[in-house]
Amino acid sequence: MVTVDAVNMEDQHDSSALLPEATDSTTAAPGFQKHQGEVKPGPGNYFFLSRTENFTLSVVLLIGCYSAILIPAYFPSDKLMPVDDYHQPKDQVLLNRSASLLSGPCQPRWCLNHLRPLSCSAGLLDIPVFVLREGRPVPWDRSPPLGLQGSERPLARALAFLPQPGLPPSLQGGETCRRCVVVGSGGVLHGSHLGSHIDQYHVIIRLNNAPVHGFERDAGSRTTIRLIYPEGAPHSPGEYRDTTMVALVVFKSLDLDWLSSVIARRPLSFWSKLWFWREVVDNIPLKPENFRILHPDIIHQTGQVLQNYMQNQGKMVPTLGTSAVVMALQLCDQVSLAGFGYDMQHAEARLHYYEALRMHAMKSQVVHDISAEKRFLRDLVAAGAVTDLTGAL
């Protein structure tokens, strides 16, 4: 039997304490050699770390894991899915139908005349589109996005920066017949080859950061109105090229401060930026007269109409897409939709036309009632009030 007369509990090469061995063991533990009553480090001992090194490594790994999870969600990525090398449109029938629609003359008051059969038609008419300094009172009894309660001062500051807060001359009333197209972000737009058709509309409405550059063949190249909230504003300056107007959808009072800072080209403070759920842009390369504030009645009335289509009543916020359709009904005589219709039955279907995200990602969201919105848009199409260019509704 080997008797250990003295055990040196300190490694000569490390200031940290070693774990004691079992006193009744006759075999040295792996990584250690017994010699002359001392525990000496063997070749395998260098695999183990000291307590200080172990703690430091754990902290570094923990921070790394959190960064890997949080940073991609907070900072938007400019890397978009490359366009596939397809040469033929995926649905020639729809493309021919779109071409036939554009070949005919614009029909004045087409939408209004075809909305009458719908029971909800009264809620879709005569809604103010943009907030004015003087005009229809802003609903202060409802909080954003359904109203502007508690946002009086930020709104006043933002309006002071807008030289033309109302409709631009090109969208004001008159004898001119206008065609609108609302370009959704749906994956159904991918491969449609509708870009050249979309560019022929008088008013082209886009949503948040849905890209144009690199996707002109399917999505077109011009933008008349881009509806955004701060976190959804495109970060690439190129996405504002050939854009007539950016309209802010207010979801919180701070959104109005962001708009003022963008127009005045004075970045928000670091503290203010912490209240946004993702990084926001400091600069949008447009003139002050190219900005507007969407009237909250558009969101509110859209939500009221959708209540008729919800199976379970609740306080769901309508998507920007459906709200943009209701806005288009106020502005144009004829309205077409492109890129609308989520195929929830196929989880692996493409969610957006510009990225690889799949449809199952929509199932995790609880803010919007996608099924109710689809039923509503189907009714508009069935009544002939709007035209579905991509055929997914």
The answer to the question of residue 197 being in a domain is yes
Amino acid identity for residue 313 in this structure: Q
Q: With left for phi above 0 and alpha for psi between -120 and 50, is residue 134 left, alpha or beta? A: beta
The answer to the question of residue 28 being in a domain is no
DSSP per-residue letters across 89-134: -S-HHHHHHHHHHHHSPP-TTHHHHHHTTSTTGGGGSS---B--SS
The answer to the question of residue 62 being in a domain is no
Beta bridge partners of 203: 180
Residues of the chain with pLDDT under 70: 1-49, 54-55, 59-60, 63-87, 315, 342-348, 359-366
- Residues whose CB falls within 8 Å of the CB of residue 129, separated by 6 or more in sequence, listed in order: 167, 294, 295, 298, 327, 330, 331
Amino acid identity for residue 269 in this structure: S
The answer to the question of residue 25 being in a domain is no
The answer to the question of residue 125 being in a domain is yes
Cβ burial, residue 334 (10 Å; 0-12/13-18/19+):
buried
Provide the sign of the torsion angle of the four alpha carbons 206, 211, 214, 219, taken in this order.
negative
Burial state string for 56-77 with b = 16 or more CB within 10 A and e = fewer than 16: eeeeeeeeeeeeeeeeeeeebe
User: Quick one: pLDDT at residue 199?
Assistant: 98
The answer to the question of residue 203 being in a domain is yes
Q: With left for phi above 0 and alpha for psi between -120 and 50, is residue 150 left, alpha or beta? A: left
Sheet holding 243-248, edge to edge: 291-293, 243-248, 223-228, 203-207, 179-183, 334-338, 386-388
User: Quick one: pLDDT at residue 143?
Assistant: 94
Neighbours of 239 (CB within 10 A): 20
Q: What whole-number distance in Å separates Cα of residue 294 and Cα of residue 178?
A: 20
Neighbours of 173 (CB within 10 A): 6
Please tell me whether residue 186 adopts helix, strand or coil conformation.
strand
Number of domains in the chain: 1
User: Quick one: pLDDT at residue 7?
Assistant: 40
Q: What is the CATH number of the domain that holds 212?
A: 3.90.1480.20
Q: What whole-number distance in Å separates Cα of residue 176 and Cα of residue 198?
A: 19
Q: What whole-number distance in Å separates Cα of residue 197 and Cα of residue 244?
A: 18
Which range marks the domain in which residue 110 is found? Answer: 92-388
- Tokens describing residue 338: 């492109």
- Residues whose CB falls within 8 Å of the CB of residue 384, separated by 6 or more in sequence, listed in order: 114
The answer to the question of residue 109 being in a domain is yes
Q: 229 to each of 202, 205, 268, 303, how far by Cα in Å?
A: 24, 15, 15, 18
The answer to the question of residue 77 being in a domain is no
